[in-house]
């Protein structure tokens, strides 16, 4: 049994969303609480353990971005080759609300994950401090984890948006066919009525 377009897009959104979540959670767990200060002459050199925090954070950013692009595509994708006007799709208030929430959560998750990854990377690159009391900081605790959960939430919201989009498309296409069908019936009725009177 072949997987349809809808299922393929859903699976892709879910897979990339879950990957973003996993990478973010592992990054949070691997992140050291602080570096080791090594005193020097008028400076402190911070030594950080070799861990994949920055790489995992970057992977989470990338996979979340892919999940978001697929989520947006799932709303505007012409399923079965039938495109539906955007105006018709967004007549559904529920779809508008969930679409707005999905975009907001995805942007927030992306921003948090980028902030945590960039901050962690800068701490490691700029590891020479003139403040002799420095405690060799790392990215704020909880940023990677919070962003990871938001990434998972965003992918779930995109899946809901896809379902609502399919419902809105079905309503639009059914209404469109009903109108055509109704016009044909009315025309045929008028023609038959005229024929009956003339006979």
**pLDDT tens-place string over residues 96-113:** 999 999 999 999 999 999
pLDDT value of residue 160 = 95
Mean pLDDT, residues 156-172 taken together = 91
Q: For residue 185, what pLDDT band results from cuts at 50, 70 and 90?
A: very low
Mean pLDDT of the chain: 84
Q: Locate the domains of the chain by residue range.
A: 5-167
Q: Is the pLDDT reported for residue 114 higher than 90?
A: yes
Of all residues in the chain, the percent with pLDDT exceeding 90 is: 47
The DSSP line for the chain is -PPPHHHHHHHHHHHHHHHHHHHHHHHHHHS-S--EEEE-SS-EEEE----SHHHHHHHHHHHHHHHHHHHHHHHH--GGG----HHHHTT-HHHHHHHHHHHHHHHHHHHHHHHHHHHHHHHHHS-EES-TT-----SPTTHHHHHHHHHHHHHHHHHHHHHHHHHHHHHHHHHHHHHHHHHHHHHHHHHHHHHHHH-
Mean pLDDT of the 144-169 span: 94
Confidence of residue 60 (pLDDT cuts 50, 70, 90): very high
What pLDDT is stored for residue 37 in this prediction? Answer: 82
Band (pLDDT 50/70/90 cuts) for residue 193 is low
Q: What is the mean pLDDT of residues 2-31?
A: 90
What pLDDT, in 10s, does the model give residues 64-95?
Answer: 999 999 999 999 888 888 888 888 888 888 99
The pTM of this model reads 0.80
């Amino acid at each position: 049994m072949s997987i349809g377009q809808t299922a393929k897009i859903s699976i892709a959104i879910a897979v990339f969303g879950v990957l973003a979540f996993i990478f973010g959670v592992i990054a949070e767990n691997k992140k050291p609480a602080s570096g080791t200060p090594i005193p020097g002459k008028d400076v402190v050199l911070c030594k950080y353990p070799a861990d994949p925090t920055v790489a995992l954070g970057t992977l989470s950013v990338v996979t979340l971005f892919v999940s978001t692009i697929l989520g947006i595509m799932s709303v505007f994708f012409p399923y079965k080759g039938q495109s539906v006007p955007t105006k018709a799709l967004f007549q559904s208030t529920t779809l508008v609300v969930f679409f707005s929430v999905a975009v907001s959560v995805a942007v927030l998750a992306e921003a948090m994950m980028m902030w945590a990854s960039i901050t962690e990377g800068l701490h490691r690159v700029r590891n020479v401090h003139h403040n002799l009391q420095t405690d060799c900081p790392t990215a704020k605790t909880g940023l990677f984890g919070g962003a990871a959960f938001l990434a998972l939430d965003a992918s779930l919201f995109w899946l809901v948006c896809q379902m609502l989009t399919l419902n809105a498309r079905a309503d639009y296409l059914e209404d469109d066919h009903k109108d055509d069908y109704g016009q044909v019936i009315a025309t045929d009725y008028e023609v038959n009525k005229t024929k009956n009177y003339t006979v």
